[in-house]
Amino acid sequence: MVIRIQVLLYLLFYLAIFALCVWALIDLLRRPPAAFTSAGKRTKGFWGAVVGVSTAVAFMAIPAPIGLNFLPFLGLLAAVGAIVYLVDVRPAVAPYTRRRGPRGPSSPGGW
């Protein structure tokens, strides 16, 4: 019984890492390339490579019924790439990203 709970928690942990990497990749793809250089961060291509490799490695680290169970400790390193993007780069490039949608006096932050 305890072993099943441990295996389930292990699976959920690596699925959460994979979901985090996918979120970072989707967010990165939505940002314009000029936002990265304007924010003083590396290029979008560089961060695309970091987050893309992190996402692929995170998928490979998921246990065997879903992923490939390829060197599971690399899943933790994959999480580092996604976390650095989400915590450091994403907030820096956010002001340089053009927002779509209505901007009127009634909207919060509208000018």
Provide CB contacts within 8 A for 31, sequence distance 6+.
Answer: 44, 93, 97
Task: Give the integer Cα–Cα distance in Å for 69 and 91.
Answer: 32
The torsion angle over the Cα atoms of residues 100, 101, 107 and 111, rounded to 10 degrees, is 50
**Average pLDDT of the segment spanning 46-51:** 96
Residue pair 92/28 in contact (Cβ under 8 Å)? The answer is no
Quote the radius of gyration of the chain (alpha carbons, Å).
18
How does residue 14 score in pLDDT terms, banded at 50, 70 and 90?
very high
pLDDT at 109 over 90: no
Q: How many residues does the chain have?
A: 111
Q: What is the pLDDT of residues 72-93, one digit of tens each?
A: 788 899 999 999 999 999 999 9
Q: Give residue 103's pLDDT.
A: 52
Q: Give residue 81's pLDDT.
A: 94
Helices and strands in the chain, H and E counts: 5, 0
Question: Residues of the chain with pLDDT > 90: what percent?
Answer: 61
Q: Give residue 18's pLDDT.
A: 95
Whole-structure pTM value: 0.80
